[in-house]
């Protein structure tokens, strides 16, 4: 069983929309994954996090995955939307590589699905998107209901520097928004593969219409979603996915963040322990049917031919005996 992860964090230094906590998110989550037994962890950060590099890392992540393996993709950075002729709102949800140009250098939710769809059932795929508009980021058929625990005593209250809070949202250029408004769009009817719906879960930092916060929490710049996840995991290393998302929402409520993390994926996985194997849902290996053996009909015996063979045998034996007698007399 492999435990493999790809962690991407971008602070966008030197741009007009810098963040502060994304690389810290990567480092903090990496430590937690090591504690969970992950031995293959690839990190792509800052200037290395180009469109090509992220997509190549995702393909390495899923390469050769087998039932029983656990795969994690964590993205901490800006999320946004771009023009689409397929989405009902004319906008496609995206994550923003460091070299984003809104044309070729961009990664859409459709591209994420195309990479994860071929992974066989029985592989735990856990996707963590700590960015804006991340809910429904993989178009699952089901979403867990939003629950904020009534008892928040066990939820930590942390010090948040309010002035440090920034949105992890990169606004599309005006030309993208204008194009979306002016064009008539075609309603997209997307149906994800059974594999995504059966074997993958998405933990989104916020709902589809919300933004995710980048803030200084307890003195450390980090994403509110990643921070809440790590605190819940620290308090209960054996936490289930459903309890995890509920705890994250309790954290947001208690510490006055407006975002609400979302869990997307098949409800039959919600009770599974976070980052544990679920090989039992693997598709059974098809067994080729054993071909039926047709009985070979017995060949009828010809009684007359049997008698002929017996007579021929007797004549041969008689001839051999007579030859031996003659040889004996001649020799004598």
10-50 pLDDT, tens digit each: 999 999 999 999 999 999 999 999 999 999 999 999 999 99
- Dig out the tokens for 108 from the structure: 């859409």
Give the pLDDT confidence of 265-324 residue by residue, as tens digits: 999 999 999 999 987 877 765 544 545 445 555 545 455 555 555 566 667 776 666 666
CA atoms 255, 256, 258, 264: torsion sign: positive
108, β-bridge pairs: 94
Lowest pLDDT segment from 103-112, 248-257, 298-307: 298-307
Strand partners, 263: 203
Q: What is the pLDDT of residue 151?
A: 83
Reported pTM: 0.80
Question: How is the chain split into domains, by residue range?
Answer: 3-281
Q: Which residues have a Cβ under 8 Å from the Cβ of 31 and sit 6 or more positions away?
A: none
Distances (CA, A) of 311 to 85, 320, 324: 94, 14, 20
Q: Encode pLDDT of 144-169 as tens digits.
A: 999 998 888 889 899 999 889 999 98
**Residue 203: band (very low, low, confident or very high) from pLDDT cuts 50, 70, 90:** very high
- Rounded distance, CA 126 to CA 119, Å? 12
Pick the CATH number of 3-281 from 3.40.1390.20, 3.40.640.10, 3.40.50.2300, 3.40.50.12660: 3.40.50.12660
- State the pLDDT at residue 332: 56
Residue listed under structure tokens 């916060």: 213
Strands, sheet with 200-204, edge to edge from the N-terminal-most edge strand: 40-45, 3-9, 70-76, 124-130, 200-204, 262-265
Residue of 254 and 323 predicted with greater confidence: 254
Q: What is the pLDDT of residue 195?
A: 59
């Amino acid at each position: 069983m492999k435990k493999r992860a790809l962690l991407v964090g971008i602070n966008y230094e030197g741009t007009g929309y810098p963040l502060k906590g994304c690389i810290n998110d990567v480092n903090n989550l990496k430590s937690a994954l090591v504690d969970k037994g992950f031995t293959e962890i690839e990190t792509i950060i800052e200037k290395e996090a180009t469109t090509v590099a992220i997509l190549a890392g995702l393909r390495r992540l899923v390469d050769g995955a087998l039932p029983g393996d656990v795969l994690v993709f964590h993205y901490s950075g800006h999320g946004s939307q771009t023009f689409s002729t397929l989405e009902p709102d004319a906008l496609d949800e995206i994550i923003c590589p460091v070299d984003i140009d809104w044309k070729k250098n961009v990664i859409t939710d459709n591209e994420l699905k195309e990479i994860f769809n071929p992974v066989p059932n029985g592989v735990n795929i856990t996707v963590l998107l700590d960015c804006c508009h991340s809910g429904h980021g993989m178009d699952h058929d089901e979403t867990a209901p939003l629950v904020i625990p009534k008892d928040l005593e066990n939820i930590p209250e942390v010090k948040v520097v309010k002035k440090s809070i920034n949105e992890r949202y990169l606004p599309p250029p005006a030309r993208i928004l204008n194009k979306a408004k002016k064009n008539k769009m075609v309603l997209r009817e997307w149906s994800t593969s059974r594999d995504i719906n059966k074997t993958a879960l998405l933990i989104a930092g916020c709902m589809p219409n919300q933004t995710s916060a980048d803030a200084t929490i307890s003195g450390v710049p980090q994403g509110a979603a990643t921070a809440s996840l790590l605190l819940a995991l620290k308090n209960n290393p054996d936490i289930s996915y459903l309890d995890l998302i509920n705890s994250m929402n309790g954290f947001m409520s208690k510490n006055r963040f407006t975002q609400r993390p979302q869990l997307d994926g098949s409800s039959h996985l919600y009770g599974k322990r976070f980052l544990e194997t679920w090989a039992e849902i693997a598709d059974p290996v098809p067994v080729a049917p054993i071909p039926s053996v047709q009985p070979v009909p017995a060949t009828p015996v010809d009684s007359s031919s049997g008698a002929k063979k017996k007579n021929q045998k007797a004549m041969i034996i008689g001839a051999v005996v007579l030859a031996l007698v003659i040889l004996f007399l001649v020799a004598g």
